Amino acid sequence: MLNVLLISAPYVDLYGPIKSAAGRYFPLGLGYIASFLKKNGYSVSLYEPEAQKLNIEEISKIFAEKKPDIVGIGSATPNFYNAVELAKLAKKTCNCKVILGGIHASAIPEFIIEKYHTCFDYLVVGEGEYTMLELLKCLENKQMPDSVPGLCFWHENKVNLTPCRPFIMDLDSLPYPARDMIPQELFYPNLHNARYSKCFTILTSRGCPFNCSFCASGLTLGKKYRVNSAEYVLGEMSMLKEQYGARQLLITDDTFTINKNRLLEICEGMIKKKLNLEWFCFSQITAVDEETLKLMKRAGCYNIGFGIESASPRILKIMGKPYSPQQCKTVIDAANRLGMKTQAFFVFGEPEETIEEINSTVNFAIDINPTLSFFNMLVPYPGTKDFQYFFKDIPLDQIDWKNFVAIGTKSVINKNSNLDLEKIVFNANLKFYMRPRQLLHIISKIKTFHELYSYIKGGLGLLAQMITWKTETRQTDENTLN
């Protein structure tokens, strides 16, 4: 059978000065594919260069020693060029087929395969488990894979895009991600989420039914919300506790709390099994209430994040958000009363957003009093409504994808916007965090020395990034005057 090597494209350097606060996460997507292929009899190896501190020479040596028949690369939008370099290295080092998967490949597959078909033999569009399995079988049998749904490839000097693959409905049929392939002590979360060193990521659902104008998640995982059963989730949590000594979980679902019955079943199961795990999750504002939050806290949820985005009803409507600022305040107030650590995420730069609306949002963030606020410049990823607005007249080969970073160091839309987003984000962070009350609020939520160290290191990273923003803004102002 074919020998498969899966690897993530490097990404951390794209974060600029704030990279010191960035986590190293086990690649769950590739991890699921690895365990699925292994279950079906294939020899699979898995690498995450950032966590394993692998440079180009070391990766080249791995390619040469492993001699894989297949190299599968996982990539998002900003690290796409790193995926290209990995593909070139694989082609140079070993006689292999190279497959690219991830959100960028799913967003613009025809453009990528037309321009980079000398690097990538195939692109996986959408979920990867069954597409990879069926593709490998075709390659083994020397068959044309044009009958495999969810593929894009170059053949007879043209792009071939097969029909979309239906999304996997029975997620419980998939084995747990292949965490045993990489030492788990190499991974750690973004520092604002680090309470214990034994922290693990877990994905319990796929798909998001919401339609946010800037979010590209649905390109790979779809709009239909599909879940692992509570039994499956509790089994994986118990495994992480027993085999790896987990003390903390980051639940990485887009919105963990949508299915209330399943949420209650998971929480009650965690309490009954006495897992004693502390955990973080994301929630949509309309998907929780105070009673639900109480149960979540009893089950170990000490930390919850909400994508609030704006205090302007007009901007919320443009973004496709189905809630009001008052609903946001009500939910944050409830979580704060329960003693939970709360995180609020905001986005600046939506089409036609005014500086007055942005200033109102910053004041709103102060008013609702989350533990942490994240003020982000809009990143309109390909495949989203916002991308069509800002980049519809720009050829794809003229776009610099490495700047499409969610916590970016520079705005990718300033040329198309009258807002100085770097300056705005700098001022928002300054106004929110440089208040004694806010600093005391943050300190009150620190419960371990590991968490204290992480906050200090993360805060220094944010400070370094703010200095960079300030310097770049000053240089821009000087150039404008000259």
pLDDT in tens, 264-307: 999 999 999 999 999 999 999 999 999 999 999 999 999 999 99
**Residue 251 CA to its chain's centroid (Å):** 12
pLDDT at 454: 86
pLDDT at 467: 75
Are 344 and 433 within 8 A, CB to CB? Answer: no
Residue 476 has pLDDT above 60, yes or no: no
pLDDT at 35: 98
Closest C-alpha among 140, 70, 141 to residue 100: 70
Question: DSSP character for 374?
Answer: E
- Euclidean distance between CA atoms 189 and 197, whole angstroms: 9
The runs of H, that is alpha helices, within 163-286 are: 218-221, 230-244, 260-272
Check residues 384 and 457 and name the one with the higher pLDDT: 384
pLDDT at 68: 97
Residue 410 has pLDDT above 90, yes or no: no
- Euclidean distance between CA atoms 202 and 200, whole angstroms: 7
User: What domains are defined for the chain?
Assistant: 3-161 (3.40.50.280), 188-477 (3.80.30.20)
**Torsion angle defined by CA atoms of residues 143, 145, 149 and 150, in that order, rounded to the nearest 10 degrees:** 150
413: tokens are 């839309």
pLDDT at 191: 84
pLDDT at 134: 98
- Judged by average pLDDT, the poorest of 19-28, 119-128, 169-178, 473-482 is 473-482
Taking residues 64-73, report their average pLDDT.
97
pLDDT at 89: 97
**Torsion angle defined by CA atoms of residues 284, 287, 290 and 291, in that order, rounded to the nearest 10 degrees:** -140
Model confidence at 221, pLDDT cuts 50, 70, 90, reads confident
Centre a 10 Å sphere on the Cβ of residue 457 and count the other Cβ atoms it contains.
13
Taking residues 183-192, report their average pLDDT.
91
Burial (0-12, 13-18, 19+ Cβ within 10 Å), 336: middle
The runs of H, that is alpha helices, within 182-280 are: 218-221, 230-244, 260-272
- Euclidean distance between CA atoms 9 and 78, whole angstroms: 10
Model confidence at 85, pLDDT cuts 50, 70, 90, reads very high
The runs of H, that is alpha helices, within 273-393 are: 290-298, 313-319, 325-337, 355-368, 385-391
Residue 319 has pLDDT above 70, yes or no: yes
Residue 159 has pLDDT above 60, yes or no: yes
225-263 pLDDT, tens per residue? 999 999 999 999 999 999 999 999 999 999 899 999 999
Residue 174 has pLDDT above 90, yes or no: yes
- Judged by average pLDDT, the poorest of 20-29, 315-324, 424-433 is 20-29
Mean of pLDDT over the chain: 92
pLDDT at 236: 98
250 SS3 class: strand
Length of the chain in residues, anyone?
482
**Residue 141 CA to its chain's centroid (Å):** 36
pLDDT at 209: 86
157: tokens are 């000097």
Closest C-alpha among 323, 326, 325, 331 to residue 312: 325
Are 43 and 206 within 8 A, CB to CB? Answer: no
- 202: β partners: 251
Residue 96 has pLDDT above 60, yes or no: yes
Query: Which residues are CB-neighbours of 187 under 8 A, at least 6 positions away?
Result: 23, 24, 25, 26, 48, 51, 199, 200, 201
Residue 425 has pLDDT above 70, yes or no: yes
Taking residues 407-436, report their average pLDDT.
78
Are 205 and 228 within 8 A, CB to CB? Answer: yes
The percentage of residues in the chain with a pLDDT greater than 70, rounded to a whole number, is: 93
pLDDT at 210: 86
Closest C-alpha among 324, 352, 461, 416 to residue 17: 461
Are 369 and 319 within 8 A, CB to CB? Answer: no
Taking residues 91-119, report their average pLDDT.
96
Model confidence at 482, pLDDT cuts 50, 70, 90, reads low
